[in-house]
Amino acid sequence: MKPIRRSRVASLIREEISRILQFDLKDPRIGFVTILAIEPTIDLKECKVFVSVMGSESQQRTSLRGLEAARGKIQSLLTSRVRLRETPILRFILDDSVQRTLEIEEKIRIAREADELAAQERESRSLEEDGQDHSSSTEIPTPDQD
């Protein structure tokens, strides 16, 4: 299959699964789920569905179990909405890249704050040293008495 067609089919499947999760499924286990990417196989018989779930690890596991339990319903609704020869078998995979990104951003923010604080301390120390050097080296000249 041509890569362009495969990417269009993946995009269509992603949109439809997102709509199904948003409007058609009422499973309380499925929390705030975002479909990040779809990776169909070359023959379109299977699709990896990468999802992100906001919440704690237990909420993420619960949502993933809810998605697995609703997989048959999602596939049947997908069959009625997307016209393909065969409906791909969906495999939901938890993608924690969003969570890792947030953790990395937090570490960068903390490091920046520490760096700014260290720069301020260095600057204040250099100003103090400059102030002491000028006061000791500056002498008031006295008029010569001959």
Give the model's pLDDT for residue 129.
81
Give the model's pLDDT for residue 103.
86
Beta bridge partners of 33: 53
Please give the class, per CATH, of domain 3-95.
alpha beta
Q: pLDDT band at residue 145, thresholds of 50, 70 and 90?
A: low
Paired tokens of 45: 């018989």
* Tens digits of residue pLDDT in 85-117: 888 999 999 988 877 888 899 999 999 999 999
Task: Kindly report the pTM of this predicted structure.
Answer: 0.68
Q: Calculate mean pLDDT across residues 126-146.
A: 64
Helix/strand/coil for 10? helix
* Distance between CA atoms of residues 145 and 78, nearest Å: 105
Largest distance between two CA atoms of the chain: 114
* Tens digits of residue pLDDT in 16-54: 999 999 999 988 888 889 999 999 999 989 999 999 988
pLDDT at 138 over 70: no
Cα 18 from chain centroid (whole Å): 18
